[in-house]
Amino acid sequence: MEDMDKRPKNFIEEIIEKDLETGRVKEVITRFPPEPNGYLHIGHTKAMCVDFGMAEKYGGRCNLRFDDTNPSKEDTEYVDAIIEDIRWMGFDFGDRIHYGSDYSEQIYQYAVQLIKKGLAYVDDLSPEEMREYRGTLTEPGKESPCRNRSIEENLDLFERMRNGEFESGEKTLRAKIDMASPNLNMRDPVIYRIKKEPHHRTGTQWCIYPMYDFAHPLQDAIEGITHSLCSMEYADHRPLYDWFLEKLEIPNPPRQYEFSRLNINYTVMSKRKLRELVEMGYVDGWDDPRMPTLCALRRRGFTPESIRRFIDLIGVSKTLSVADWGLLEYCVREDLNKRADRVMAVINPLKVVIENYPEDQTEEFDVEINPEQPERGTRKVPFSREIFIERDDFEIDPPPKYFRLKPGGEVRLKNAYFIKCTGYETDENGRVTLVRAVYDPASRGGESPDGRKVKGTIHWVSAGHAIDAEVRLYDKLFTVENPDDIPDDKDYKDFINPESLVVIKGAKLEPSLRNAKPGDRFQFLRIGYFCMDSKDSRPGCPVFNRTVTLKDTWAKIVSKQG
């Protein structure tokens, strides 16, 4: 993780360093265990950065392990997307791609061992009855009538479950722990259930599948994981994690540690809700740039470096908090400021005719590609009699301290000339359709030889050389800061921001963008950072997505924090 050595150690680093010093472990081995039932989102990047980052920092390794123990929701589409996202984020798992389904036989045999030890039993209770028997936080649960079946009967029933003799939901295998435990997770949890559905990797080979709480510690043990790093919702599950490892007498067992998950305002992180947004058509797919998925952020123009920087600024702790989307925007601005080429683009064009400029003349200006990278040199930008400027850069009756173009007013065209407005035309509704101006030939390059001051500088594009493009302006997906915390009589979808996507057709771009490729990122001067869309752009019909605006409210805050 970026800047790891520039900040105080977090509690996980302290644990790992102590384990290495005392010899509890010789090598740090972690795992990143996504479930292939959806696309990874920004919330997963914290776990990704912690799991891969800790192994990276301490010279260890991190396995990629797909938690594919629920065949009803999983698909190879998600597997492929997750692999692509992790590699895009810059993490290396080499050939260490594992699947929970790889261990099906081993996990099954561990369950048989528990039965033989008298620590697991086959239960006939329905899910509704099981909830009733479970008890509450203040009342102990009741034991199932099946709890005291003999070991022989349980072994026989469990094998018959495997052989497909019972229907889905008809029977389960439960661990025999303590129905009066104050921790509800320890009240005889289900460790196997019947699911007669084809699996995306094993087909119909299995019809029983382990629950995650049972599979998780055993998969960790099989792979030799030393530090099983989880989010805080698994803290109450840790006694169960340890119980399975202890009762099955696993040598050198892994240890689980929990940290707070990543939550961000103005979005949702629930895979169920994200899937609902996709399937109900509120967004245009998992990669819609308004979504918090990594494929969507990539399409919108976010960089992996900016996301890793965001995670590093948030830090690793056990404290639950909600991160500000503005901090993520600050991180991508900071990164794109260094790497993005500067170009001129007019989003809402208004034509200007420079009446004293020769009609048949075109000249070129050498314009800096990126002031943060002077070694990149300059690009050629053509200039002619007719240009486009932003409609907002001209006002007939401007407010006080308006330094852009107005009747009789003078502005500097970026890197070109001073021009003065001599007139304008409007349509029947009073909307300005054309601006007339004259230029000062002596001000070439934007400097006046007589030393007169011109306060306003605006960007422009030569009309005869402009590229037409579609521009998509993206904003926060929700109008409320926490769409997961709304009144009971409301639906989170009622708060989708109607301005989260504004599509503008007919934008005018400087001709250097003719060579842009999908995924290329630019700073449109005075407007924001944009990325050429990787899905909808076509030759001659480019589409540019706004990654983020130029305005930044976080820069001073982060600089004060160092």
pLDDT in tens, the chain (562 residues): 444 456 789 999 999 999 999 999 999 999 999 999 889 999 999 999 999 999 999 999 999 999 998 888 888 899 999 999 999 999 999 999 999 999 999 999 999 999 999 999 999 999 999 999 999 999 999 999 999 999 999 999 999 999 999 999 999 999 999 999 999 999 999 999 999 999 989 999 999 999 999 999 999 999 999 999 999 999 999 999 999 999 999 999 999 999 999 999 999 999 899 999 999 999 999 999 999 999 999 999 999 999 999 999 999 999 888 999 999 999 999 999 999 999 999 999 999 999 999 999 999 999 999 999 999 999 999 999 999 999 999 999 999 999 999 999 999 999 999 999 999 999 999 999 999 999 999 999 888 778 888 999 999 999 999 999 999 999 999 999 999 888 878 899 999 999 999 999 999 999 999 999 999 999 999 999 999 999 999 998 999 999 999 987 655 555 555 5
Q: In 3-state terms, what secondary structure has residue 495? A: helix
Closest-CA residue to 259 (of 11, 5, 61): 11
Element of type H or E holding 336: helix 325-339
Q: Could you tell me whether strands 322-323 and 386-390 are parallel, antiparallel, or unpaired per DSSP bridges?
A: unpaired
As a dihedral over the C-alpha atoms of residue 503, residue 508, residue 509, residue 514, rounded to 10 degrees, the angle is 90
Q: Name 92's Cβ contacts closer than 8 Å, sequence gap at least 6.
A: 52
pLDDT value at position 488?
78
Measured N-to-C along each axis, helices 212-223 and 238-247 cross at an angle, to the nearest 10 degrees, of 60
- Provide the residue type at 425 as one letter: E
Residues forming a β-bridge with 458: 413
Q: Fold for 346-459, please state it.
A: Ribosomal Protein L25; Chain P (2.40.240)
pLDDT value at position 2?
45
Q: How far apart are CA 244 and CA 241, in angstroms?
A: 6
Element of type H or E holding 104: helix 104-116
Q: How far apart are CA 185 and CA 175, in angstroms?
A: 11
Burial of 444 (0-12, 13-18, 19+ CB in 10 A): middle
Closest-CA residue to 454 (of 466, 464, 463, 445): 445
Closest-CA residue to 247 (of 210, 217, 211): 217
Instruction: Return the structure tokens found at 198.
Output: 């084809």
pTM exceeds 0.95, yes or no: no
- The separation between CA 118 and the C-alpha centre of its own chain, rounded to angstroms, equals 45
Q: How far apart are CA 240 and CA 272, in angstroms?
A: 26
Question: DSSP characters for 45-91?
Answer: HHHHHHHHHHHHHTT-EEEEEE----TTT--HHHHHHHHHHHHHTT-
pLDDT value at position 457?
96
Q: Which long-range contacts (CB under 8 A, 24 or more apart) does 490-494 make?
A: 492/268, 492/273, 493/276, 493/277, 493/280, 493/282
- Provide the residue type at 283 as one letter: V
Architecture of the 271-341+474-561 domain:
Beta Barrel (2.40)
Where are the CATH 3.40.50.620 domain residues in the chain?
4-261
Closest-CA residue to 394 (of 426, 346, 350): 350
Where are the CATH 2.40.240.10 domain residues in the chain?
271-341+474-561, 346-459
Asked if 343 and 523 touch (Cβ cutoff 8 Å), the reply is: yes
Q: For the domain bounded by 4-261, which CATH number is listed?
A: 3.40.50.620
Q: How far apart are CA 40 and CA 77, in angstroms?
A: 12
Element of type H or E holding 308: helix 304-314
List the 61-66 sheet strands across, edge first: 29-32, 61-66, 97-99
Q: In 3-state terms, what secondary structure has residue 37? A: coil
Rg (the chain; Cα; Å): 31
Q: Name 278's Cβ contacts closer than 8 Å, sequence gap at least 6.
A: 285, 286, 288
Angle at 175 between CA 173 and CA 177, to 5 degrees: 155
Q: Would you name the residues annotated as active-site residues?
A: 35, 261, 271
CB atoms within 10 A of CB 118: 12
Helix%, strand%, coil% for the chain, nearest 5: 30, 25, 45
Instruction: Return the structure tokens found at 397.
Output: 């009756």
